[in-house]
Structure 1
Amino acid sequence: MPRVPFENIPEDLMNCMMQTEKYIKSLNIIDESFMEVLRYRVSVINQCAYCIEMHFKEAIAAGESELRIYSSSAWKETNFYNESEQALLEWTESVTKLNDSTDQRQQSFTNLKKYFSQDDISNLTLSIVQINSWNRLAKSFGFEAGNYQVGQH
């Protein structure tokens, strides 16, 4: 049983989170299917079962292949992602794990700048921070995996 059921999250908190989601969705910087891969990757790093299930299902619904979703954990060892996607996966891990050295983070940022503007990078970083926030809420509140339906949230 969840500690705080989804439907009992305070309205102002949900409004804040959903306003950010609306803003992120309006950006259209990358395909929604790959955005879901990034959300899935962050959720795997954070070991958030509820969000892993959600973003796997949402990625499939958005047209992403199962192989690319599953392989996001080993993206460095595959050729399933183009160069801009690899740069974004690297940045996503850097922003999520926060254990890169200053030089590593700079190299990751420099690589990302080959494909995205500074504004795009800022907004993509917000997207990464947002899924990290959802992971922390879901884990803290005890959301249970197993019953998510596409489009539910």
Structure 2
Amino acid sequence: MNLADFSKLYPAIPAGLRALTGAVKEAGLDPALTELVKIRASQINGCAFCTQFHLATARKLGVAQAKLDLLAAWRDSGLFCDQERSALAWTERLTALPHAPLTEAEREAAEHAFPGPEFALLCTAIATINAWNRIAAGLAFPPAG
């Protein structure tokens, strides 16, 4: 199955996920940072479709190729600012949630980097891409091209 077939069968599902994505974007979370989060979650989840899709989107937004090249090894790279590092750490923790409970220290660190409503937006962006990853990987959506 591919995204187009899935969307024809159940149009409300992709529409709902796109609505969440749109709400995060409209609320003002940095689009380039959001794409880094989506790519990293997709890498962890092994979702080729979403990884390719969000790499293309990040490139259109002007995210540096060097950052995209080193995203899987972001901890060892000096290319990522403190807020990006915090977002990526939180992405990895929420994506791995079934394997280990969150600690208060992890939550506080992420909330410090994303104060107030931004933290809710970050959590929503991570949850949304994880939902997409599970649908796309589960249904074996082929990457474009």
Compute the TM-score of the two structures, normalised by the length of structure 2: 0.89
Question: Number of residues paired by the alignment?
Answer: 144
8 Å Cα contact 1:87/1:108 also seen in 2: no
8 Å Cα contact 1:75/1:86 also seen in 2: yes
- Residues 17-71 of structure 1 show CA distances to partners (whole Å, capped at 9, x for unaligned) of 22212211102122x1221111110000000001111011110010001111121
Using the TM superposition, give the Cα deviation of residue 4 of structure 1 relative to its aligned residue in structure 2, in angstroms: 7.8
Any stretches of 5+ residues in structure 1 without a counterpart?
Answer: 148-153
Distance 1:119-1:138 versus aligned 2 partners, 3 A rule? same
Q: State the distance in 2 between where 1:15 and 1:3 align.
A: 12
Residue pairs, 1:71-150, within 5 angstroms? 71-98=70-97, 99-102=99-102, 105-147=103-145
Whichever residue aligns with residue 128 of structure 1, its letter is: I
Counterpart for residue 151 of structure 1: none
RMSD: 1.9
Whichever residue aligns with residue 19 of structure 1, its letter is: A
More helix, by proportion? 2
- Residues 49-94 of structure 1 show CA distances to partners (whole Å, capped at 9, x for unaligned) of 0111101111001000111112111111111111111111100100
**1:29 is the counterpart of 2:29:** yes
Using the TM superposition, give the Cα deviation of residue 115 of structure 1 relative to its aligned residue in structure 2, in angstroms: 2.2
Compute the TM-score of the two structures, normalised by the length of structure 1: 0.85
